[in-house]
Amino acid sequence: MASEWAEEADRQARAITRDLIEVGRKRGFRVEYQKREARFTLRAGAAVSYFPAHDYQSARGMDWLRLRIDVLTRVRDGAVQAEGDGDADSSSPAPEVS
Identity of the amino acid at 74: R
For residue 60, give its domain range: 2-77
| CA 59 – CA 89 distance, rounded (Å) | 22
- For residue 54, being part of any structural domain is answered with yes
Identify the pLDDT of residue 84: 43
Q: Which residues of the chain carry a pLDDT beneath 50?
A: 82-90, 94-98
pTM, rounded to two decimals: 0.71
- For residue 92, being part of any structural domain is answered with no
Number of domains in the chain: 1
Identify the pLDDT of residue 65: 93
- For residue 91, being part of any structural domain is answered with no
Contact call for residues 24 and 72 (beta carbons, < 8 A): yes
Identity of the amino acid at 17: T
- For residue 28, being part of any structural domain is answered with yes
Identify the pLDDT of residue 29: 86
Other Cβ atoms less than 10 A from the Cβ of 9: the count is 21
What phi, psi does 51 have (nearest 5°)?
A: -130, 95
